[in-house]
A and B are shown apart, each in its own frame.
Chain A
Amino acid sequence: MSSRILVVEDDERIRSSMRLALEGEGYDVDEAGSGEDALDRFAAQSPDLALIDLMLPGMDGFECCRALRRQSAVPIIIVTARTDTHDVVAGLEAGADDYVTKPFVAKELGARIRALLRRARPAEEEPSALTFGDLELLPDQGVLRHKDGSEVHCTRTEFRLLCELASNPNKVLSREQLLDRVWGYDYFGDGRLVDVHIRRLRTKVEPDPALPRHILTVRGMGYKLVP
């Protein structure tokens, strides 16, 4: 069964060409011409991934992102023509997992989609549970919960990032390594993806996100998790 992708884009020609390209890659495609439309379609079709253009009439891409994130952990890729600093970071802050810039090549977009749709972990010699602080991580089940049993909601990307860090406790992982293992980017991937996701993770797993005790930044090198 092929994955279902929701394309949110106001320019009809781009939407059509994206549908063509994505269908060529073997995906089922839903189209939405506005943010409001996107929310309706999302509720009706529950796609596996959403592609959201940031410049939308009415409800903009950021708002659409936030609205989707409130109700779902679905992977979101934002599409931006404006590559200004704020757009990308703000989009990631709004809950997006990754971004592509216009004009994109279908193959590249396909690669980004595949990376996000990948299962949480390829089952290697995976420990069934990882713990740090009062949190418990169950990679097979995709569950993060407190020791008392209450679940912490996080997106698939956040979960995979946490798994990478937790399975290498006390070891520094560079941004490049994390980009490679979580997003499938090479050496020149955008380190901001890691940084924004780490920030978001901290708000979920740290007692005090401003003074992290578990997910630590190692200046000039990367991040490490201290149980």
Chain B
Amino acid sequence: MARLAVRIARTAARPRAEGPATTAGGAPDGGAEDRGMPDGRAARAAGTDDQGAAGAAAGRRRQLRTHLGVRSRVTVLFGTGALLLSVAMGGISYFSARHFLVNEQESTSVHTAVANAQSVRSQLLADRLGGRGPQPQTVIDSLDAPAPGSVLYYGGRRYATSISASTVVPSALHSLVGAGQPATQNFVLGGQPYIAVGIPIPSLHAQYYESFSLADVNHILRVLLLVLLSAALVTTVLGIALGRLASGRSLRPLTSVSRAAMAIAGGRLATRLPEAEGDPDLAGLTTSFNRMVDQLEERIEREARFTSDVSHELRSPLTTLAASLDVLESHAAELEPAGQRALVLLAADLRRFERMVGDLLEISRSDAGSADVTLEEVSAAELVRRSVQAGVRTLPQDMPRPAVETDAIEGTHLSVDKRRFERAMANLLENAALYGGGATRVVGEPGPPGPDGRATIRVAVEDEGPGVAPSERARVFDRFYRGQAAGKRGAGTGTGLGLALVAQHVRLNGGRVWVEGGPEGRGTRFVVELPVADELPVADGLPGGDELPGGDRTERGPEDRTERGPEDRTERGPEDGTERGPEDGR
């Protein structure tokens, strides 16, 4: 019965917060205190924060996802999960413990108060019957109630066990109990929480109040809260660590996949992932990845082989054509004028066709990864002079010869594939002849140190033609790119592969090539940058420049001859050249 009354009474007491504690105890939050209110508020506040955080996170998730990697996201997920889980578990534990402890304390308090009230009543009745007259002060003093003690309203007066006790009856409680309703109320006094229990004693028109300290319960709850929060913190940290570990472990296969993909992109097509045995989750990835690479490799090889085969197949009829044409040309004088003109046309396009087949073959070899580089240590100046000499020989007779300036690189040595360098220079000179009115100058000069710290030289081929628009400069090295020369595919045009091959030859020589505006903003300047040889030979044992038996050289040059060097001189070209060659765009 007391329980029910108490509950009703408390609901009535709650809305009006001001209690005696406010007036007497001076605690600012006195009457409003529900039991454990500070904790409750904290818990509620935390809950709101969680929701707020969740909402904000939802808003920011898209943004976050772009910033965080999978690993970080998994870690965050694990951390958040652990935090939420531990907060939830801790909350449940805390609130059930609090509920239990508080109820226990409350019912103990009510029982004690009721017992004391009965004792007060019986003593007062006994006093009255005994004729001594009631001694309320004596009665409550004899109760041995702990501080702040008990208060008894009897006969319009107030008796308290202590001075402080007289102040501890909240007025809301007093009015309720005065109306004959037993009730309880929490309050704070001197910073300590208490519960006041009021028991009406109707037979005497008296009210008995007793206050009990809640400090013990609150202390236990506070310790519990601390423990639970620490546990939540530890759990969250563990969750984060676990997330990091788990994501790292589960992403490890991805790391190897990425490494393999990089290797494949770098041209090492034989790269495969090791079979993940006994791991059904990974086996699928590994198998499909490897299958993809298989197909990719097969496809690339098939394409390269096709180009190569086509070029080779074209060579047999070309050989017949070229040999027959030679015979015809040696008898050209015996032909009619029309026949001679036809022969000239035939010869010009046959040469071009030969060049194209040769260039295609050269490019397909590189695509197939079989481009070998024969590096030799040579004098840079000598090489440039010789290459220009050989290059201009294939140009039309009326084309102006470029001035060659190699003084600045005299004494410098390169480790290059001579054939490739010569082809690159020949193609640059041809390009200048076709689109720039002929090269005016070929300059060799020292360049800045390369990315690997090696010294470099630069060889620039300059012309004074219309120039290359800045927007086209990166693309002129693409295959069959003709830029503004498009449509001019007349008699004088090249194969469309010349500059692509320049880029390829230079890249295989460990250098890079680019195009810039000519000096004084006129014309074009193609620059080839090559690393200088590491060790210099003692002397330059090359023959002088003018005694070349070059008369029987043809325009094709020894372009298909050197593929791999003998003995100690063979090296693979740097597959990952720094300059963006046409191959890198694949």
Contacts and interface: CB of A to CB of B under 8 A. Distances in A.
Q: Is B one of A's binding partners?
A: yes
Interface stretch (B253-261, B495-503, B522-530, B557-565): B557-565
Most buried by B among A24, A186, A195: A186
A88 B418 contact: no
Contact of A187 (B390, B537, B538): B390
Nearest to B419: A188
A102 B318 contact: yes
B315 A103 contact: yes
Nearest to B324: A17
A104 B563 CA distance: 17
A21 B567 CA distance: 36
B554 interface: yes
Given A188-B386, A192-B566, A102 B330 contact: no
A88 B377 contact: no
B376 interface: yes
A16 B542 CA distance: 41
Given A105-B556, A110-B552, A174 B316 contact: no
Contacts of B558: 185, 188-190
Contacts of A135: none
Interface string A14-44: 1011101100100000000000000000000
Contact of A81 (B312, B372, B419, B566): B312
Interface residues of A, number: 51
A85 B563 contact: yes
Interface stretch (A138-146, A157-165, A213-221): A213-221
A97 interface: no
Given A17-B323, A188-B422, A24 B549 contact: no
A220 B537 contact: yes
A222 interface: yes
Contact of B566 (A99, A106, A196): A196
A102 B565 contact: no
Most buried by B among A18, A21, A88: A21
A200 B318 CA distance: 34
Contacts of A184: 549, 552
A191 B368 CA distance: 24
B370 interface: yes
B353 to A, nearest CB: 9
A106 B564 contact: no
B387 to A, nearest CB: 8
B326 A107 contact: yes
Contacts of A199: 566
B281 interface: no
Interface in B420-455: 422
Contacts of A105: 322, 326, 554, 556
24 contacts: A11-B320, A14-B319, A17-B321, A21-B323, A81-B315, A81-B319, A85-B372, A104-B323, A108-B553, A108-B556, A180-B549, A184-B549, A186-B386, A187-B418, A187-B548, A191-B562, A192-B564, A192-B565, A195-B566, A199-B566, A217-B567, A220-B376, A220-B377, A220-B537
Interface of A: 11, 13-14, 16-18, 20-21, 24, 81-85, 88-89, 99, 101-108, 110-111, 172-177, 180, 184-192, 195-196, 199, 217, 219-222
7 shortest interchain CB distances as A-B pairs = A111-B552, A195-B566, A17-B323, A106-B326, A85-B564, A103-B318, A103-B319
Given A17-B323, A20-B327, A85-B564, 10 more contacts: A17-B319, A24-B326, A81-B316, A83-B560, A85-B370, A180-B549, A184-B552, A186-B386, A187-B386, A188-B390
